[in-house]
Amino acid sequence: MQSHRPTHHIGRCYSGETGRAYLGTRPSKQSLTRIIEAIHECTGRRTTWREAEELVSQINGKLVGWSNYFSLGPVSNAYRAIEQYTKLRLRRWLCDKHKVEGSGWTRYPDEYLHEKLGLVRLCKRTQNLPWAKA
């Protein structure tokens, strides 16, 4: 018998426009933890033999699938947190792969990660949701 693991948290949310409270859903802490663990596993030191583009493609698949599942409700904060964590892990992975000291912020800026390697921007995905355009 499988245990039930909640994917959404149902509770009070606040409108960004009016500030009024409403009942809504957002990703649960467990689902955030699971996507973070998946990103962590992909960017572990044991995977530095892979090509960067191949790794980013795998990460993008996980991020897009996760964001498609959690596209309802106030997701911007969760998307921002996952995007920041992913960039941090990818920079560390690139530094380990190329045996470079430091955090990789100057050598691998956001533009490099997104434009050269093709890392998906989760925060941009909420701007194009069809149901958000009334």
**Dihedral sign, CA of 68, 7, 123, 98?**
negative
Q: What is the DSSP string of 70-123?
A: T-SSS-HHHHHHHHHHHHHHHHHHHHHHTT--S--TTTS-HHIIIIIS----HH
- Cα 55 to Cα 59, 60, 64, 73, 133: the distances in Å are 6, 9, 14, 29, 34
- For 73-118, write each residue's pLDDT tens digit: 667 788 889 999 999 999 999 999 999 898 889 999 999 999 999 9
- For 16-62, write each residue's pLDDT tens digit: 778 887 566 667 788 899 999 999 999 999 999 999 999 999 999 99
Q: Where are the domains of the chain?
A: 28-128
Q: What is the value of pTM for the model shown?
A: 0.80
